[in-house]
Amino acid sequence: MAFILADNCFQNLIYRLAGEKYSRFVSVCLSWKRIVGELLAERSYPLKLENKVLFVGVQNSTWMQELVLLKQDILAKYRQYGEELDDIIFIINSPKKRKK
């Protein structure tokens, strides 16, 4: 019996649920951590992909500045993975804290 990694099964399921319309966005999201690294991925996340422009939510202005400085490197890495992005727009979009 051949074993299949659960990670691959979940990725396939996500692509199937998203459908063809959102497959590029799913691809960008799934590779975000690999592209920017674990530290930056914990403080930012893709919000949407529109006309080859990726909108990214960022925790605060400090991390946004770091990502702005790395923008060209991030675009180049996405091109290596076969994703053609024209630009990345960073937006401060910190999740709201829960009220206790």
pLDDT in tens, 41-58: 999 999 999 999 999 999
Structure confidence at residue 56 (pLDDT): 97
pTM of the shown model = 0.79
Structure confidence at residue 98 (pLDDT): 46
How far is 33 from 51, CA to CA, in rounded Å?
22
Confidence band for 16, pLDDT divided at 50, 70 and 90:
confident
What residue segments make up the domains of the chain, in order of their start? Answer: 7-92
Structure confidence at residue 93 (pLDDT): 85
Cβ(44)–Cβ(88) below 8 Å: no
Q: Does 100 have pLDDT greater than 70?
A: no
Of 73, 61, 85, 7, the residue nearest 36 (C-alpha): 73
Least confident of 1-5, 15-19, 33-37, 74-78: 1-5
How far is 74 from 5, CA to CA, in rounded Å?
28
Structure confidence at residue 81 (pLDDT): 87
Pick the CATH number of 7-92 from 3.40.50, 3.30.70, 3.30.300, 3.30.310: 3.30.300
Residues whose CB falls within 8 Å of the CB of residue 36, separated by 6 or more in sequence, listed in order: 44, 67, 70, 74
